[in-house]
Amino acid sequence: MMLPSVLVVELTYRCNHKCLFCYCPWENEPSLKEAELSTDEWKKIFDKVKQYGVKQITFSGGEAILRDDLLDLISYAHNAGFSVGLISNGKNLNREFLSKLRPYNVLLSISVPGIESFHKTTGVDNVENVLALFDLCKELGIKTVANIAVTKNNIKELFENIALPLVSGASYILLNRFLPGGRGLENKQYLLSIDEINEMFDVAEEVLSRAGLYGHVGTELPYCIIKNPEKYKYLQISSFCSAAKGFFVIDPSGYVKVCNHSPTRVCFWTEIDGLGQNEYWNRFVTKDYIPLMCKNSEYLDVKCDGGCREAAHVYFGDIADMDPCFDNIIKEK
């Protein structure tokens, strides 16, 4: 058995932001918060998954920097031969920490969910400091990604939300449309319409083409909603679900999940050897999740497999339900 090449490590439940869009399942189901794994347990996990073909470890949370052992774990992963990523909201990042991070060739993704709307979205006044981090990282030779969650709350400021991190030194842009899950289930009013999703594409392409840089729409979406797919040269748009195929997740207590959005714990990390026999895992591996509305689509398996499957699960109740982007259309009818 081979595992997906990327492991996302949700290192801690703790976070020092209160983002309206937060999809972490434990923000909606507090009972999921069990004891966090120790440093030694995480190192055993890294040793184990390497045997099954994992090549990259990306540290996330919560806010991973709140773990005192983060640098130790990054060093261990790096020395074991993994490429390493780190996702952070930037609040506790500073020159001292970044200087210590520098030797490990980490790809650092920093969340910038708005400019004027930053405080409303996160509960924290920190946007100037976050933007300054891109310049500092560039000075230190650390490659950065500006990670932008796009909602109704910040869509109208998206041009500057993309442009300012690039001007400040970001190497790349990652856009993720808001998908209700976790705390986001309390804020469904921020879900983008299909027109707004296409507006997101258009604005991103305009900024990126002017800058001569590239970006990516991360969370997959149904290909059929893209109005002019051939026009995007600088923006790559994901339309295939990569959960349990391109990446998988281990949560702070050591449970394997197919995706960050998923509240479903597939197995405990010590049971990874039997993952190939797990029914839930295999529904993702074999794509046994195609929505009924997509069964006869001309794009099925060629361009698309129905959008975000775990977002559909969280929002509607089953991984074979339709993508949440269609919800507004149903309500209008």
State pLDDT tens for residues 183-239.
999 999 999 999 999 999 999 999 999 999 999 999 899 999 999 999 999 999 999
- Spatial neighbors of 306 by CB under 8 A, at least 6 apart, are 222, 241, 289, 290, 291, 294, 300, 312, 322, 323
Cα distances from 80 to residues 68, 100, 246, 268, 305, in angstroms, run 20, 18, 20, 22, 35
| Positions of the chain with pLDDT lower than 70, given as ranges | 328-333
pLDDT of residue 1: 85
Report d(CA 99, CA 94) in Å as an integer. 9
pLDDT of residue 260: 95
| CATH number, domain 6-289 | 3.20.20.70
DSSP per-residue codes, 111-163:
E---STTHHHHHSS--HHHHHHHHHHHHHHT--EEEEEEE-TTTGGGHHHHHH
- pTM value is 0.96
